Amino acid sequence: MTPQPSGKPIVDKNRIASLIFNQASAMGIADRARIEQITARIIERLEKPAAALPGMEAFVTPQARVSIAVTEDEIENLVKDAVEGVKSAGSAVQPSTGSGRTDVIEVPKPPIPPPPVAAAAPKTSKQEKNMPAATRNTKSEARKPKTEIRNIIPERVELSANALAVLEKRYLKKDKAGNPVEKAEDMLRRVARTVAAAELSYDPKINIRAVEDEFYGLLARLEFLPNSPTLMNAGRELGQLSACFVLPIDDAIESIFDAVKHTAMIHKSGGGTGFSFSRLRPEKDRVGSTGGVASGPVSFMRAFDVATDVIKQGGTRRGANMAILSVDHPDIERFIKAKQTAGVLTNFNLSVAVTDAFMEAVRANGEYDLINPHNGEIVEKKKARDIFDQIVNLAWKTGDPGVVFIDRINAGNPTPHLGKIESTNPCGEQPLLPYESCNLGSINLSKMTKGNGRKSIDYDRLGYTVRTAVRFLDDVIDVNKFPLPQIAERTRQTRKIGLGVMGFADLLIDLGIAYDSPEALEAAEEVMGFIQAESHKASEELAASRGTFPAYEKSVYDGRVKMRNASCTTIAPTGTLSIIAGCSSGIEPHFALCFTRNIMDGTKMVEVNPYFQRASVEGGFFSKEMMEKLAAGAHLEDFKEVPEAAKKLFVTAHNITPEGHVKMQAVFQKYTDNAVSKTVNFPADATVADVDKVYLMAFDEGLKGITIYRDGCKADQPMSTGKAEVKPEAAAPAAPAKPMGPRERAKVTTGFTEKVKTGCGNMYITINTDSTGICEVFSHLGKAGGCATAQLESTCRLASLALRSGVPIDDVAKQLKGIRCPSIAWDNGKSVLSCADAIATVLENYINSGLSVKLEGKAEVNGNGNGNGHGEKKVIKDFGIVKNVAGQCVDCGSILVYQEGCFICPGCGFTKC
């Protein structure tokens, strides 16, 4: 038989089987039974109907089905992959076949870092334990590519309209009038040229244009993107390229306000900051130099919050902060409750630094010591479970505080001789020493597949991307213009980089794997294990040519393996980057399949996830009406016309159990040097006990920290899942109520007037009461006139009408609290978001002053999660009403979503981190 051309599809099954058999024999496999097994598996795989997306064959229309067809080149690759899969002593996750089975032949399993081995030079067990898994065996080699990866440079960068809008608003260089003076290609070329220049210091004769082209190709193909400050500032006057920093705060007024000043400088340059306030003496502790008493960590946090609020980050967004307090600090309870009042510490994420000893005490229902950091004295003993309950209750109610497992973080500290790690960056994924910074970057996993229809992971391209990205990030450190000399010195000592990923949810869909399946966990382990091994290998190679990081001696690597970078991997938030790259965010599942975006002319447009749109069109169940309903909060499982296979594959964040989120984070943490930024989503009817269980599970699963978000936990939540509220069983119908109406205003009333600073000037708010209770509210705003005065009067009239009609004061206050206008002010250390927010604050002050009539308590009812509609009463400590002040994007008005521990706008890329 005359051989067919290698590029022509072969449809004869016997011919295909013969070619597979011959190819396997040519590769040196002598075992006939083994060859037959490989042949049978490949034939079986090829005979399956080809769907537009793997795992969804069940609902592809008959016209879309394709009979068996394959080229000789494809057969050769299939056999090579199958053979290497056997050699690697395991098989990688493959797209679901729709029958509940998983294929094991197309993608060879990458090497997972081996366990520790004995070293030539003796080291302590602690050093052995602290060494990252990927470097414990220096003889393990990362997977070598079978084929050379070409640096294909696209003529133009393929960007969505949304990505272009984000770039024009936040990243591209502009003239004095605010008009962009560069295109996306110019921006990426600017970044590549600036970063590549670092190579000249290591090799003056290097072909710098080739290095620049290699970096540019990686960026222009959207296979890798560095953190936002690098895109914004590289090649420009500011030149600050790092995303996150940690600053020290010592127990001295000079140190505290030096840190405030340094925070402003960092935020101005485009970075975020983390702090540990654990060194500050507690509230009311005696200050020897003045004879006065200390105000405590929480009060000083407000100074940092105010400074952040008035500094625009790099001219593009407000800065973000992380505040951490040790669980054994005497002010820990004040810290836990610090954000229970709306408008307070809005620029901070809060996390409690939890020790292993504390967690053991929680489990044993034991006590632990609160210690004054100023003198080391034990102040008192506390029941660990009581403090843990407060953390859990507030997290259930507001999402804050999170926890960081600080002992586990320090167990992974690669440079313990430089000091202990006390804090992380604002989103918690980057533990850092004081004055350290880290430059981050993310690989777009949605670009790391190969094949048509049935896709598999392209480990050759992934390996190339990892190695090039590590080199890029190491170069960033050399060309970076750091905001402080202390930061430059410490960063260059350790040379930490943080290579992470985005597009993981898209990758799973390409592979036909549901996010909440065991196969997804296996895929995560293999992909991140491969990236970890490759990144450490790349750092070793850089160390051989450029030298180790200066603090290498006495580090956990000393005497075992030479490393260029003290750490290599971090899973960071990629909200805005993922919009530019056109992929899902970080390792998060898709938050929604459809969302509504506000266009600049005021119209709204429904945007559909491209994977879901493609599948729905090709599967024959696309409709505009369904997409609009999904954008409005409906769930895919509500639509009968959608096949079960699609419902299973296209799961979103709120379809996944909290335990599922924790397990996924744990897998990525296993192969990440630093930490993982991820949100554990809870349904609205989750109980406090559910959150308690997940916090304990996070500790048991090896996480370094955890952030949770319960749907509806904030009154003006960014984006709801659309589920109906779980309510207690309805009581029997009552008799028709008497029509409501306001009581008459008394001729003589008593009251008080309070002055409040607002963004529009001083505001004077008067509260008057009669014999029944509060009867009216009126206010005057400085010298304002026109619409402002009219709107303020209408607000007060309606509030007064409601109060005289029997509406409880706290309900009126809740409706006004958190309303935000563009002008924010600070009054007595608290933010005033608007005039309405100011009225709410005065009403709350009236309630809390004891002047008001006694309000009857309300039972807290939580759904018990059993789906029968009957709630269960649960005793919950009342930490006050909290409302989210960021329901809508302040830039475009679209609804914000909460992912990776941060609010982000999918419409324009605005982020609060």
More confident residue, 840 or 730: 840
Q: Is this model's pTM higher than 0.85 or not? A: no
Q: What is the mean pLDDT of residues 41-67?
A: 51
Q: In terms of Cα–Cα distance, which of 412, 413, 436, 441 is closest to 425?
A: 436
Q: Where are the alpha helices (DSSP H) in 552-600?
A: 575-581
Q: Name the least confident of 28-42, 174-188, 707-721.
A: 707-721
> In 3D, which of 666, 661, 438 has the Cα closest to residue 569?
438
Q: Is the pLDDT of residue 640 over 50?
A: yes
Q: Collapse the DSSP code of 280 into the 3-class scheme (helix H, G, I; strand E, B; otherwise coil) and give the result.
A: coil
Separation of alpha carbons 262 and 593, rounded Å: 41
Judge whether residue 102 has pLDDT over 80. no
Torsion of CA 166, 168, 171, 177, to 10 degrees: -140
Q: Extract the tokens encoding 860.
A: 């807290």
Q: Encode pLDDT of 439-494 as tens digits.
A: 999 999 999 999 987 799 999 999 999 999 999 999 999 999 999 999 999 999 99
Is 498 a residue whose pLDDT tops 60?
yes
Higher local confidence (pLDDT), 719 or 688: 688
- In the prediction, which pLDDT does 69 show? 56
For residue range 506-531, what is the model confidence (pLDDT) as tens digits? 999 999 999 999 999 999 999 999 99
Distance CA 758, CA 766 (A): 15
pLDDT at 875: 31
Q: Which residues pair with 439 in a beta bridge?
A: 497
DSSP character string of 17-35: HHHHHHHHHHTT---HHHH
Ordered by start, the domain boundaries in the chain are 13-87, 244-424, 592-651, 751-850
DSSP code of residue 186: H
For residue 150, with 0-12 CB atoms within 10 Å meaning exposed, 13-18 middle and 19 or more buried, which class applies? exposed
Query: For the chain, what percent of residues have pLDDT higher than 70?
Result: 73
Q: Which of 80-84, 195-199, 613-617, 799-803 has the lowest mean pLDDT?
A: 80-84
pLDDT category of residue 610 using cuts at 50, 70 and 90:
very high
Residue 123 has pLDDT above 70, yes or no: no
To the query of whether residue 452 is one of the catalytic residues in this protein, the response is: no
The CA angle 354-881-392, to the nearest 5 degrees, is 25
Compare 271 and 890 and report the one with higher pLDDT: 271
Instruction: State phi, psi for 442 to the nearest 5 degrees.
Output: -135, 135
Residue 844 class from Cβ within 10 Å (0-12 exposed, 13-18 middle, 19+ buried)?
buried
CB 695 within 8 Å of CB 706 = yes
Asked if residue 434 lies in contact with residue 324, where contact means CB atoms within 8 angstroms, the answer is: no
Q: Range with the lowest mean pLDDT among 5-19, 604-618, 786-800, 865-879?
A: 865-879
Continuous segment of H or E residues that includes residue 370: strand 367-371
**pLDDT number for residue 621:** 95
CA distance 531 to 520: 16
Q: Which of 82-91, 302-311, 420-429 has the lowest mean pLDDT?
A: 82-91
Gap between the Cα atoms of 425 and 323, Å rounded: 9
Side chain identity at residue 112, one-letter code: I
What pLDDT is stored for residue 222 in this prediction? 98
Q: What is the DSSP string of 138-170?
A: TT--PPPPSSPPP----SS----HHHHHHHHHH
pLDDT at 822: 62
CA 658 to CA 691: how far, in whole Å? 9
549 closest CA partner among 559, 534, 539: 539
Reply yes or no on whether the pLDDT at 92 is more than 50. Answer: no
Rg (CA), the chain: 30
* Out of 328-332, 626-630, 834-838, least confident range: 834-838
Task: Give me the pLDDT at residue 83, please.
Answer: 63
Phi, psi (degrees; rounded to nearest 5) at 634: -70, 160
Both tokens assigned to 502: 């985005």
Q: For tokens 């102040």, what's the residue?
A: 379
Q: What is the pLDDT of residue 46?
A: 66
Looking at the DSSP bridge assignments, the partners of residue 776 are 768
Higher pLDDT: 815 or 460? It is 460
Please give the mean pLDDT across all residues of the chain.
80
Higher pLDDT, 813 or 52: 813
Does position 568 have pLDDT exceeding 90, yes or no? yes
Active site residue 541: no
Mean pLDDT of 60-72: 49
> Would you state the pLDDT for residue 15?
65
Q: Give the tens place of pLDDT for each residue, 318-370.
A: 678 999 999 999 999 999 999 987 778 989 999 999 999 999 999 999 999 99
Confidence of residue 759 (pLDDT cuts 50, 70, 90): confident
**For residue 202, is pLDDT > 70?**
yes
For residue 295, the surrounding DSSP H or E stretch is none
User: What is the predicted pLDDT for the residue at 785?
Assistant: 56
Per residue, what are the HEC states of 408-465?
HHHHCCCCHHHCCCCEECCCCCCEECCCCEEEEEEEEHHHCEECCCCCEECHHHHHHH
Is pLDDT above 50 for 384? yes
Average pLDDT over residues 869-892: 40
The catalytic residue among 77, 321, 413, 425 is 425
pLDDT at 684 (0 to 100): 85
Q: Is 383 helix (H, G, I), strand (E, B) or coil?
A: strand
Q: Assess whether pLDDT exceeds 80 at residue 233.
A: yes
Confidence at residue 444, expressed as pLDDT on a 0 to 100 scale: 99
> Residue 197: its pLDDT value, please?
98
Q: Assess whether pLDDT exceeds 60 at residue 851.
A: no
Is 905 noted as a catalytic residue in this protein? Answer: no
Q: What is the mean pLDDT of residues 680-704?
A: 95
Distance CA 913, CA 902 (A): 6
Q: How confident is the model at residue 240 (pLDDT cuts 50, 70, 90)?
A: very high
Structure tokens of 704?
């370094």
Higher pLDDT, 742 or 390: 390
Contacts for 789 with CB less than 8 Å, ≥ 6 apart: 781
Coil, helix or strand at residue 127:
helix
Q: Which residue has the higher pLDDT, 849 or 111?
A: 849
Q: Give the pLDDT score at 913.
A: 60
Supply the angle between the helices 32-47 and 72-87 in degrees, to the nearest 10. Answer: 120
Burial class (CB in 10 A: 0-12, 13-18, 19+), 532: buried
Which range (166-175, 324-333, 413-422, 817-826) has the least confidence?
817-826
Looking at 244, 427, 713, 905, which residue is catalytic?
427
In this prediction, residue 382 carries a pLDDT of 97
CB 913 within 8 A of CB 902: yes
Calculate mean pLDDT across residues 273-282.
Answer: 97
Cis peptide before 401 (omega within 30 of 0): yes
Range with lowest mean pLDDT among 423-437, 626-640, 846-860: 846-860
**DSSP 3-state assignment of 478?**
helix
Measured distance CA(843)–CA(812) in Å, rounded: 8
**532-563 pLDDT, tens digit each:** 999 999 999 999 999 999 999 999 999 999 99
**244-424 belongs to CATH 3.40.1280.10:** no
Higher pLDDT, 712 or 508: 508
pLDDT of residue 403: 97
